[in-house]
Amino acid sequence: MQHFIGLLSFGPEGWGDQIASGAWLTIQLALATLPFGLAVGFIVALAKDSPRRWLSVPGDVFTTVFRGLPELLTLFIVYYGGQVLLQSMVSAVSDTRVEVSAFVAGFVALGLVFAAYASEVFLGALRAIGRGQYEAGFALGLRWPATMRRIILPQLVRLALPGLANLWLVLLKDTSLVSVIALNDLLRETSVAVRATKEPFLFYLVACLLYLLMSIISSLGIVGVERWSEKGLRR
């Protein structure tokens, strides 16, 4: 037992600092990806819900592509393809060597996948809100942005929240994929510790417990947000 405690301790003798640093980077990546994915997903949902085909067709293509590709393959395409694209653009004016940040690549790749799934959740919520809600806002003299902000969005949040909450929990777990592009997240730091100490069960168990802890804390936060979104429905 003392041996295991020593391996998990903080300081030069243990791996506690590295594991904590990896867990913190995992949280940062997930929190950075969430607003990006929500914003893109909402825009795509509006496009898919539009009667104009020049908006709905690109929205359908977006969701088909990023829901159809494996997340790991999307990550590789964004990381390596983005680097090639940026290098070709820079090479036209300079000989500077361009290298894409692993954090940015993970943020973009995971955000696009999250947006593809979130757009379907938003689309279902939008279609569950009757057209009469829009007409009521227009009858009150509200323009489309004001109608969306004051009438549609409060209902949209309540309807979409359960699906988005599930996607957030999936996103937390999907952050482990960035370890393959050398980003020092929780899984990569755990793998380094395993290779150095030859104690796979201990460190992978700790990683499991940390992911589970993050999910539990997220679930508690989601319950709070659900109560907030439904407070207008209570007597």
Q: What pLDDT sits at residue 199? A: 87
Q: What pLDDT sits at residue 71? A: 92
Q: What pLDDT sits at residue 2? A: 67
219's enclosing H/E stretch is helix 200-229
Helices (H), 69-152: 71-76, 82-91, 102-128, 131-139, 144-147
- What does the mean pLDDT of the chain come to? 87
Res. 215: pLDDT tops 90: yes
d(CA 83, CA 87): 6
The pLDDT confidence band at residue 139, using thresholds 50, 70 and 90, is confident
d(CA 179, CA 24): 14
Q: What pLDDT sits at residue 133? A: 74
Q: How many CA atoms lie within 13 A of 172 on its CB side?
A: 20
For 88-118, how does the pLDDT look when each residue is reduced to its tens digit (9 = 90+)? 887 777 777 777 788 999 999 999 999 999 9
Q: What pLDDT sits at residue 14? A: 80
Res. 172: pLDDT tops 70: yes
Q: What pLDDT sits at residue 169? A: 93
Q: What pLDDT sits at residue 218? A: 92
Q: What pLDDT sits at residue 138? A: 78
The answer to whether 181 and 78 have CB atoms below 8 angstroms apart is: no
For 40-74, how does the pLDDT look when each residue is reduced to its tens digit (9 = 90+)? 999 999 999 888 899 999 999 999 999 999 999 99
d(CA 226, CA 37): 20
What fold is seen in the domain 2-230? MetI-like fold (1.10.3720)
Residue extents of the structural domains in the chain: 2-230
Q: What pLDDT sits at residue 48? A: 93
Q: Phi/psi class of residue 113: alpha, beta or left (left: φ > 0; alpha: ψ in -120 to 50)? A: alpha
d(CA 92, CA 179): 32
The pLDDT confidence band at residue 155, using thresholds 50, 70 and 90, is confident
If you average pLDDT over each of 23-37, 73-87, 99-113, 168-182, which comes out highest? 23-37
d(CA 212, CA 218): 10
Res. 216: pLDDT tops 70: yes
* Better-predicted residue by pLDDT, 139 or 106: 106
Across the range 32-38, mean pLDDT stands at 95
User: What are 129's two structure tokens?
Assistant: 């809100």
